[in-house]
Amino acid sequence: MIWRLVVLGGVCVLLLGAEGSSRGGRTVTFHRPQQDESQGQARARPRRDMSSSSGTPRPFHGPPFTSCRTPLNPVEHKVLDDNTYETGFNGDDGSHVILTWVGDGTGVVLVLSTFSAPIDTFLEGGSSRLYRSMDYAKSFHDISHRINNTFIREEFGVSVGPGSSVILTADVPVVDNPGGVIFTSTDAGATFKYIQLPFHLAEPITYHFLNPDYLVALSIDDSLWLSLDFGAKWTKVHDGVHSFSWGAGINLFFSYSRTDTVYANERGDLVLKRTKDLGQTFTTIHEDIYSFGYIGAFLFFSVMEDSRSPRVMYFSSDQGDTFSRALLPSASTEQFYSILDGDEDMLFMHVDNPGDTFFGTMYTSDDRGILFSKSLERHLFDGQRKSDFTNITSLRGVYLTNKLDKDGRIRSVISFNRGGAWRQLNKPDNVECGEQVKNCNLHIHGEHSRKNNIIPMLALSEPTAIGLVIAHGTVGDSLSSSQHPDVFVSSDGGYNWRGTLKGPHHYSILDSGGLIVAVEAQHEGQVKTIKFSTDEGQCWKSYNFTVQPFFFAGLASEPGTKAMNVSVWGFRPEEDGQPMWVAVTIDFQSLITRECNDQDYEEWLAHATVGGELEREGCLLGVRETYRRLKKQSLCRNGRGFVVSKKQSPCLCTREDYLCDYGYYRHVNTSECVRQPSAANKTLELCLNGEEDELLTAGYRKVPSDRCEGGFSPQHAVQTVINPCGVKTSPGPPARSSSPVTHFDTPRERLVLILVCAGAGVIVLIAIVSAVFAVKRVVYRNRAPVYRFSNLQILDEANGIPADLESATSSNGTACGQDSDDDLIK
């Protein structure tokens, strides 16, 4: 898991996450208020919430619940005291602190402290300090001299890649300097190499996901540069580049403008190219595109092919060799498309409803990214175009999101079969709503709530902590902003929940789920206590980690959940008024000393529900999975060598293993797939990979990645090739001619063409063509819809390294983060 944490004024107000892997580092950013120069002292503490005095009622507490609280005994307290390490960064005036873990299990943490002069002062530039820890943040050493005390820029100043590679980007003025400066390290920051760049960086350098020697960068003059030796030498790949992305293997995709890149994406003047040999040769995939992206194993881009129709989206599952138009409902100029998530098997896509409704329809694709089926109606997409869609990574096939119902209330729904069916969350076991509440369910706060500062962080799950989910939520008929959010825990991937902590908290998963830590979110005041649980949140113990409380900035732990130590960061006002950064690291390894043995684990059948059919018990996506996981009552540690162990066996197919095909929807009162009224018959003509196909369907298709065998088997789709239908292979469409050309494809259009040619001659024909071209320009300018994609778990924008082997994205060349307002397919 790769996280970026931003804290303002000592209170955590922003938490962005992107799924990642353990091969890279994790970067966390903290911010504190700068000193008030006019008064010579630190700013005051954050003001008290005055909402109650302004007429807005304070949030009330939800239904009560109890969770186990166990005090520390004297021995446990002494052990933790002996293994708690506090570091005060005396004399450091940095307003930002950036933490980066380097490598897997190396214990190396780099900390960059930066101070930039305020814009309204006469000072220029800034200063920075670089610290290094080799013992998991228990102690730090100032190594600024290793980079000649160079000012490292605050924005994308530190980037970590595969292995122990690190890149520091210096803050170098563009004027009077031919290029920027970077410092590279291949030994986790023990030594650095000074490199003068032949260009100035416009964004973070992007690593190849496997080979750290392969680097790609975009310069401020829109040139694309490539290095094959970890930055020692750079070669210009192309000019006029708008965006880029690594694909599978060493495929590199980029879009460029033949004239200028300013507003080229808005005009649709970009050309999408690919190089398969690191810049030696190039292949044109398509011309006249607006933007493109890469997610999972899918390349996609938007094109306006005809002035009479909106832009269309094309998908390719073979690295751009062939591509096909996605079969999705038509979108008006007021709508947008948003890709929520994807892997090598399928995509989740949100299609906005017309108008400012703040909701739309979610669709799921087939394994080619072409045929899309309706998954969830009234899917919430708020006014800031944020989605609460969440992939529960601790259990296969589970997704969580919120919907906006007709009564205007937001309610949470969960899917256990990759969007095949959705249902409301069960009421927590230890919570009762009361007789006045008709429908008592758990509702989870997501990105919508985080953006409105209702919660400090989003739902948390990890692939190594099987079944474990931690999230903020409220219990009742719907999600409530007037109710204090509490913390709830699920141990079975979201089927059942328990209330575990009252009020908002920051939390982290350690030791592959064997340990959970939490710090209460303080909107005012200071912190000194951390809570921890060794039984997945059933019981908690509290430990005062410092004698002198400080303003909380954030909770940080090594990526991958293997660690057993956590760091609490903040700042403490000193006697001279200067705030001092403080880091307290608690090592729980000395408290939980026993290594787990076979008796500490149990066999757990995933997706097993009470009252279900015995032969179908635990079947999901055609497979029954039994995991070996730690018993809740076992007080031991999994250790760094822990590996998830599971057994799989196939299941018989049922209707649950099938989705409704394109043009069909699942009837509310039955499990049958019913044809949509807009679809006239059972024949759909498609244009796939350059061939026009006739698709005969019974209304069902198997869920992507479903591996069931036998059992229910509806009539499968039958495709018959009729005739070729246009060029759908790379390179893209024929090169443009010097004059506009209008294509007449239908018999009526051909007849009109013949009559015009016969009756009016060449002059009239030229006039018609010119008129059509003018209309095309007007329609293009005034009716062009926005196709928008937002991948929620792709890339750490600070590090510029893809999250997995084939999960990268591009519209800005580095990341498609949660804030997808920066990533538009226009």
- Amino acid letter, 590: S
pLDDT tens column, 350-363: 888 877 788 999 99
The mean pLDDT value for 423-442 works out to: 90
- 498-501 β-sheet, strand order: 441-444, 469-476, 486-490, 498-501
Under 8 Å between Cβ of 522 and 550: no
C-alpha 569/C-alpha 557 separation (Å) is: 11
In the chain, % of residues over pLDDT 90: 46
Does the pLDDT of residue 812 top 60, yes or no?
no
Query: 133 pLDDT exceeds 90?
Result: yes
Task: Judge contact between 12 and 545, C-beta under 8 A.
Answer: no
pLDDT at 5: 28
- Tens of pLDDT, residues 540-571: 999 999 999 999 988 999 988 889 999 999 99
Domain range 658-724, CATH architecture: 2-Layer Sandwich (3.30)
Residue range 611-638: mean pLDDT, rounded: 88
pLDDT of residue 44: 33
Instruction: Report, as an integer, the average pLDDT of 612-639.
Output: 89
Q: Give the distance from CA 243 to its chain's centroid.
A: 19
3-class secondary structure, 193: strand
Is residue 85 scored above 80 in pLDDT? yes
346: DSSP letter:
-
Give, as one character, the DSSP assignment of residue 762.
Answer: H
Contact, 544 vs 526, CB < 8 A?
A: no
Residue 42 has pLDDT above 50, yes or no: no
Pairing mode, if any, of strands 539-544 and 68-69?
parallel
Q: How high is the pLDDT of residue 713?
A: 81
Tell me how far apart the alpha carbons of residues 227 and 216 are, in angstroms, rounded to a whole number: 7
Give the confidence band of 58 by pLDDT, cuts at 50, 70, 90. Answer: low
pLDDT of residue 287 exceeding 80, the answer is yes
The fold adopted by the segment(s) 598-653 is: Complement Module; domain 1 (2.10.70)
Range of lowest pLDDT (62-76, 484-498, 526-540, 741-755): 741-755
**Residue 576 CB contacts under 8 Å (≥ 6 apart), including other chains:** none
**23, pLDDT greater than 80:** no
Calculate the average pLDDT of the chain: 77
Section 425-447 average pLDDT: 91
Angle at 114 between CA 243 and CA 528, to 5 degrees: 115
Asked whether the predicted pLDDT for residue 538 surpasses 90, the reply is yes
Long-range contacts of 212-216 (CB under 8 A, 24+ apart): 212/161, 212/162, 212/163, 212/165, 212/186, 214/250, 214/278, 215/167, 216/244, 216/246, 216/252, 216/813
Give the ranges where 193-301 is alpha helix by DSSP (H).
264-267
Domains 598-653 and 658-724 share a fold: no
β-bridge mates for residue 504, sequence order: none
Q: In the prediction, which pLDDT does 27 show?
A: 80
pLDDT at 186: 95
| 3-state helix, strand and coil shares in percent for the chain, rounded to the nearest 5 | 10, 40, 50
Give the model confidence (pLDDT) of 640-680 as tens digits: 999 999 999 999 998 888 877 777 777 777 777 887 776 54
Kindly report the pTM of this predicted structure.
0.79
Provide CB contacts within 8 A for 431, sequence distance 6+.
62, 63, 64, 65, 442, 475, 499
Can you tell me which residue has the tokens 């069931």? 708
Both tokens assigned to 521: 């979110």
Higher pLDDT, 458 or 42: 458
In Å, how far are 9, 29, 32, 142 from 97, measured between CA atoms?
13, 6, 9, 14
Instruction: Tell me the pLDDT band of 14, cut-offs 50, 70 and 90.
Output: very low
Inform me whether the pLDDT recorded for 472 exceeds 90.
yes
For 465, the token pair is 């902590």
What count of Cα atoms within 13 Å lies in the side-chain half-sphere of residue 45? Answer: 13
Give me the helices (H) in 509-621, please: none
Banded model confidence at residue 309, pLDDT cuts 50, 70, 90: low
Residue 687, classed as helix, strand or coil, is: strand
Write the DSSP symbol of residue 70. Answer: -
Residue 258's pLDDT band (cuts 50, 70, 90): confident
CA-CA-CA-CA dihedral for 795, 799, 805, 808, to nearest 10 = 40
CB atoms within 10 A of CB 516: 26
Question: What pLDDT does residue 53 have?
Answer: 35
Cα–Cα distance, 154 to 174 (Å, whole number): 16
Taking the alpha carbons at both ends of the chain, their separation in whole angstroms is: 30
Return the DSSP state at 656. Answer: G
Residue-range domain boundaries for the chain: 598-653, 658-724
pLDDT digits (tens, 9 = 90+) for 260-281: 656 665 667 899 999 999 999 9
List, as one string, the DSSP characters of 520-535: E--SSS-B-EEEEESS
C-alpha span between 4 and 155 (Å, rounded): 13
Dihedral sign of CA atoms 492, 498, 502, 504 in order: positive
Secondary structure (3-state) at 772: helix
